[in-house]
Amino acid sequence: MRKIFIFLLCSLFLKSGFAVEGMWIPTLLKKYNIEEMQKMGFKLTAEDIYEVNHASMKDAVVLFGSGCTGELISGDGLLITNHHCGFSQIQKHSSLEHDYLSDGFWAGKRAEELINPGLTVQFLVKMEEVTKEVTKGITEEMKEEVAKKQLTANIEAIKKQFSGKDKFLVDVKPLFYGNQYFAYVYEIFKDIRLVGAPPVSIGKFGGDTDNWVWPRHTGDFSLFRVYAGKDNKPASYSPENVPYHPKKFFPINLKGNKEGDFTMVFGFPGTTQEYLPSQAVQLLIEKSNPNKVDARTIRLGILEKQMANDPKVRIQYASKYAGISNAWKKWQGETNGLLRLHAIERKQKEEAEFSKWVMQDANREKKYGSILNNFKQYYASLSEIQIAYDLYNETVLRGSDVFGLISRVEQLEKALNDSAKFNAQRKALSESLPGYLKDYDCATDQLVLPAMLKIYVERLDPKYLPQNLIDKKNDFIKGSNTGKAYQKSIFSDSTQIKLLLNNLQAKTFKKLHKDPLYALYSAITEHYNKNIEPTYLKLSQEILKTQKNYLAAILEMKHGERLMADANLTLRVTYGKTEGFEPMDGVYYQYYTTLKGMITKEDPKISDYVVPEKLKQLYQSQDFGSYANSSGEMPIAFCASNHTTGGNSGSPVLNANGELIGVNFDRCWEGTMSDVLFDPERCRNIALDIRYALFIIDKFAGAGYLLKEMQLNR
């Protein structure tokens, strides 16, 4: 009976199409969105979300690190984000003796919270449109370099003005490819401590197998605390620092949402490309994604074996593996989604309409008449170069640990004549070196690097390759002298690497050029820098200019209509409903999952599906405290039709009253093309049900004292 009811409900919702495409600018909600949001059920106002002079929701949302979102859930600076956002911190504190990845970590009291050098959170103080100020004094007739200089000077002036006596960080970022500019003012906190994290068997349950997939049973959360100086202002780490008292934190709602209820996500989406021309989409589908995916398939295969064979390597490469596999899987979903939507043809149709509009008016034709043709030409030239660019980045620059390290040493060589730059880079490198060495396994790297170079050589036109790689007898790639090269290289020996960094001068670099790995990297990179990069950069710039003009035209064509600006890692609001979806004909995915489903999925033989004993006991005794849903089930995750992207991980998912009901952590695989083309029927964000986090903290970890500082609304 219940099933029939859900089905009827679902078909109703499917037809009415609740999903709203777009990641909206908080200061423009009043103009473009709030009415629609309220119609969909939102009970608050635009000012409740963003207000400069009073506490508003924006004061409880932070950019966590450099690419995630987090939100405050107590007056004492307690912050929740995803387990995968805190993963590298949890991993850095872990060793075979203290395996916080496997066992979880819970600070018993504030003095036990763990410091994380380098980790920051940023609060948005305010944002303002500054298009006029940024473009002041710049004319169409100006030479490009002159205009660029003026633009840089204008931006510097704006930064100075906004930074003020508080020395806030100011970012000025383009929207619509530079047809608009906004200034963003941030307060940065630098003492952020780890408070708690569940074991990976909860925080990463399903692992990379279930990543990007709905239905999902991952308890993807971790807790941190923001610390400040005694004046409640940002301060570098000091034992004297005290918990930060935010202007606002989110109350938590224990009732959850029903299907069809309003939800919004408030966070820092990173990048979308909703205005690409058809040729760009084609390049993505046919060349970029497949090449990158293939390179990663090989790399992941090697890492998987190595990690399975050695528990030390498993810990060393856990974070790297997760990172590599994440984009690898997403690119595949994106390609599928774009093909299914016939994205290329759709874009072509839009372009035909655009063309018609341009032709209607002589003036328009003069301004915009060449856009589509330019795209066509530039992308025709870019196609081959793009393969070289993608593969160089995937297989050489970031393809192996050792080349990653060497690339940074090579940057130092380039900075030899600029002592300030040199010293800053050397300091940064020295600081990150212990982490690098702790997570480096030479035997693994020796398998990865030649495999990566092999695919580089196989896929590139020989004209893009340096002589020593084309050489048919290349023993390095074949593996016959790889071991020797590593043995001879100083980059496989931690003592020698440390010595090198302490003793870097022009002389040392001369010697380095005889190092087999350094020499190999330099040869490939030099060739790349000469023969690939300049053309790539030139074409990319031309394409960007065309995109800017294209967007100017679209803004003119759609004048007065609401248009979404692509995500740019700034605070945005997106809204929709909690709702399931139809991934394929005849199948409907319910909008939430439960602990029962996790227990059913358990498989002690597969590491991704191991369920901790204690959790099983809690399930068996149905000991869910006050965290169960109204049917008595323990909910784990839910999906909703909010348009989100990478960077939205950790974002608060809020109900109609602005209470926290979930923490965003993923998108469904069938909808990952939403970075390029949104499909209201299939694009869903995936959130952890906040009740599951509370249940784990309280019942599983016995850290219920943390709940006392939260505001729980029943």
Q: How far is the CB of 666 from ligand ARG (least distance, A)?
A: 4
Tell which residue, 254, 272, 81, has the closest CA to residue 687.
81
| Out of 225, 667, 682, 691, the residue judged to bind ligand GLU by CB under 6 A | 667
What are 68's strand-pairing partners?
64
Helix (H) or strand (E) holding 171: strand 169-175
Q: Name the residue nearer to ligand GLU (CB basis): 122 or 179.
A: 122
Which residue is nearest to ligand GLU, using beta carbons?
A: 649
Instruction: Kindly tell me which residue out of 27, 272, 395, 648 binds ligand GLU, with binding defined by CB under 6 A.
Output: 648
Min dist CB 647 to ligand GLU, Å, is 5
Cβ proximity to ligand GLU, 453 vs 636, nearer residue: 636
Point out the residues that are catalytic.
84, 220, 649
Residues near ligand ARG (CB under 6 A) are 84, 204, 207-208, 211-212, 322, 325-326, 646, 649, 666
Using an 8 Å Cβ cutoff, are 134 and 158 in contact?
yes
Of 69 and 179, which has the nearer Cβ to ligand ARG?
A: 69
Residue 644 within binding range of ligand GLU, rule CB under 6 A: yes
- DSSP per position, 352-404: HHHHHHHHT-HHHHHHHTTHHHHHHHHHHHHHHHHHHHHHIIIIIISSSHHHH
Q: Which two tokens stand for residue 474?
A: 């290349």
The DSSP result for 522-536, as a single string, is: HHHHHHHHHHTHHHH
* Vertex 646 angle, CA 244 and 557, to 5°: 115
Could you tell which of ligand GLU, ligand ARG, none binds residue 568, using a CB distance below 5 to 8 A set by kind? none
Instruction: Determine contact, residues 302/451, Cβ cutoff 8 Å.
Output: yes
Specify the DSSP element, H or E, that contains 160: helix 144-163
Query: Min. distance of Cβ 646 from ligand GLU in angstroms?
Result: 4
Between strands 105-106 and 191-197, the pairing is antiparallel
Contact predicate 383/286, CB 8 Å: no
Min separation Cβ 649 and ligand ARG, Å: 5
Q: Which is nearer to ligand GLU, 650 or 658 (CB)?
A: 650
How far, in Å, CA of 451 to CA of 403, rounded? 13
Helix (H) or strand (E) holding 628: none
If one asks whether residue 666 binds ligand GLU (CB under 6 A), the answer comes out as: yes
For ligand GLU, give the closer residue by CB, 185 or 265: 265
Choose from ligand ARG, ligand GLU, none: what does 384 bind? Cβ within 5-8 Å by kind.
Answer: none
Q: Pick what 207 binds: ligand ARG, ligand GLU, none; C-beta below 5 to 8 Å, kind-dependent.
A: ligand ARG
Give CA–CA dist 499/512, Å, rounded.
13
Among 201, 489, 549, 645, binds ligand GLU (CB under 6 A): 645
Q: Which stretch binds ligand GLU (CB under 6 A): 173-181, 472-480, 528-536, 640-648?
A: 640-648
Selected from 13, 354, 665, 669, the binder of ligand GLU by CB under 6 A is: 665
Q: Is 646 in the site for ligand GLU (CB under 6 A)?
A: yes
Q: Does 647 bind ligand GLU (CB under 6 A)?
A: yes
How far apart (Å, rounded) are the C-alpha atoms in residues 632 and 550? Answer: 54
Are the CB atoms for 73 and 253 separated by under 8 Å? no
| 713, β-bridge pairs | 253
Min dist CB 569 to ligand ARG, Å, is 14
Torsion 280-285-291-296 (CA) sign: positive
Min CB(435)–ligand ARG separation in Å: 19
- Contacts with ligand GLU by CB under 6 A: the residue count is 10
Q: How far is CA 33 from CA 21, 30, 573, in A?
A: 12, 6, 10
Judged by CB under 6 A, does residue 649 bind ligand GLU?
Answer: yes
> Which has the closest alpha carbon to 535: 655, 327, 667, 381?
381
In the complex with ligand GLU, the residue whose CB is nearer, 70 or 516, is: 70
Residue 648 touches which of ligand ARG, ligand GLU, none (Cβ within 5-8 Å per kind)? ligand GLU
Considering Cα of 347, then 353, then 357, then 359, what sign does the dihedral take?
A: positive
Considering the complex, state which of residue 179 and residue 272 has its C-beta at the smaller distance from ligand GLU.
272
Q: State how far the Cα of 155 lies from the Cα of 130, in Å rounded to an integer.
A: 9
Which x/- pattern, by CB under 6 A, does the window 65-104 give for ligand GLU?
Answer: ---x------------------------------------
Whether 421 contacts 428, CB under 8 Å = no
Residue 102 CA to its chain's centroid (Å)? 24
What does 481 bind: ligand ARG, ligand GLU, none (CB cut-off 5 to 8 Å by kind)? none
Please state the closest distance from residue 344 (CB atom) to ligand ARG, in A. Answer: 25
570 binds ligand GLU (CB under 6 A): no
Which residues of this protein are in contact with ligand GLU, per CB under 6 A? 68, 644-649, 665-667
